[in-house]
Amino acid sequence: MKKRILVSGGAGYIGSHVTVELLEAGYEVVVADNMSNCDRSGFEGVRQITGKEDIPFVEMDFCDAAAVERLFDEYRIDAVIHFAAFKAVGESVAEPIKYYRNNLTSLLNVLEAARSHGGCNILFSSSATVYGEAAELPVTEQSPRLPATSPYGNTKQICEDMLRDTVASDRSIRGIALRYFNPIGAHPSALIGELPRGVPNNLVPYITQTAIGKRSCLSIFGNDYPTPDGTCLRDYIDIVDLARAHVAAVTRMVEGRMKEDYEIFNVGTGRPVSVLELVSAFEQVNGLKLNYRFADRRPGDVVAIWADTSLANRELGWTARRTLAETLASAWAWEKHLAGR
């Protein structure tokens, strides 16, 4: 029998790409989303790419415990990939209660439903934000987690702990936390991609919106950092590569190949890229000039972070494949697709 994966927040940016890769790897998928930060186009794109018209889709809120229980009653679920969460750093500082309530409650409800249904494999979508301003680079999974600088970052740390502690208390539940670095780009089909609401917070959507003329000028936040060109260093991971890491992790879980009942993996490329390098690469690969200026540092930004990916490479048999050029071309193709629809 095919294994069935529940993807919470499956209509969003990462969730939609992961759903495609899961279906293409032969999994059955149930997509659930409350549509609070996306529209139907992500799910429609998944159907178009995979040619599957009958993917179960449940519109529901993971903060509704009874609804989560009902979902587990209705479907036999072999693993949950839990994305359903708020993710805007700045908004979390302004509205911490909203972030704690949503991000913690939704995972609690998944954990409770897993327990009341005889156990489950749970893959949690965590972030490199847990490492803060790391003293040593690149960061390994053993690098210390530093006190979070935003409520959003804190919810990632608390959720990791909730999963770890639940796994320790209940042999029927296993967990993996994937710590993403900076996910960027879009599916090569340009049918799914990132859909920021309002002014983008993140670099690549801001770049593509500037290139298409939706924004007049990109502000590069800080050019006096102690880095080779003065701008921050990040580890930009292609969204399809990131999605493939989920398939590898979920397969390890459902095939019973985990070495511990709770495991953590960094998902990045292992390669630091500065903001200026990213901007130049975008200009070069897409043959255009971007209007940008240097602005003040953005409060809360770390100077540099990139991943040691050797654990994921070895244990998941996964490695990032797409080049930065391919990824940035896909981000631009997606922006043009959006402009044309």
| Interaction of residue 127 with ligand UFG, rule CB under 6 A | yes
| Interaction of residue 220 with ligand UFG, rule CB under 6 A | yes
Cβ-based nearer residue to ligand UFG, 133 or 161? 133
One of 187, 234, 246, 322 touching ligand UFG (CB under 6 A): 234
One of 13, 62, 206, 265 touching ligand UFG (CB under 6 A): 206
Query: To the nearest whole angstrom, how small is the minimum distance from the Cβ of residue 279 to ligand UFG?
Result: 9
Query: To the nearest whole angstrom, how small is the minimum distance from the Cβ of residue 42 to ligand UFG?
Result: 18
Chain centre distance of CA 278? 19
Stretch 154-183 residues interacting with ligand UFG (CB under 6 A): 182
Q: Which long-range contacts (CB under 8 A, 24 or more apart) does 84-88 make?
A: 84/8, 84/9, 84/32, 84/33, 84/34, 85/9, 85/125, 85/155, 85/159, 86/37, 86/152, 87/37, 87/152, 88/152, 88/201
Cβ-based nearer residue to ligand UFG, 136 or 260? 136
| Interaction of residue 232 with ligand UFG, rule CB under 6 A | yes
One of 41, 189, 202, 313 touching ligand UFG (CB under 6 A): 202
241 vs 180: CA distance, rounded Å: 11
Check whether the bond before 138 is cis (ω within 30° of 0). Answer: yes
Residues 318, 248 contacting (CB under 8 angstroms): yes
The site string for ligand UFG over 15-54 (x = CB under 6 A, - otherwise) reads ----------------------------------------
Strands 182-184 and 218-221: unpaired
| Interaction of residue 14 with ligand UFG, rule CB under 6 A | no
Strand order in the sheet with 173-180: 57-59, 28-33, 4-8, 79-82, 120-127, 173-180, 262-267
Query: To the nearest whole angstrom, how small is the minimum distance from the Cβ of residue 43 to ligand UFG?
Result: 22
Cβ-based nearer residue to ligand UFG, 67 or 302? 302
Helix runs in the chain, H state only: 13-24, 41-50, 65-74, 89-94, 96-116, 151-169, 203-212, 239-254, 275-286, 310-315, 324-339
Stretch 69-108 residues interacting with ligand UFG (CB under 6 A): 87, 89
| Interaction of residue 302 with ligand UFG, rule CB under 6 A | yes
Residues that bind ligand UFG (CB under 6 A): 87, 89, 127, 129, 152-153, 182, 201-203, 206, 218-221, 232, 234, 275, 298, 301-302
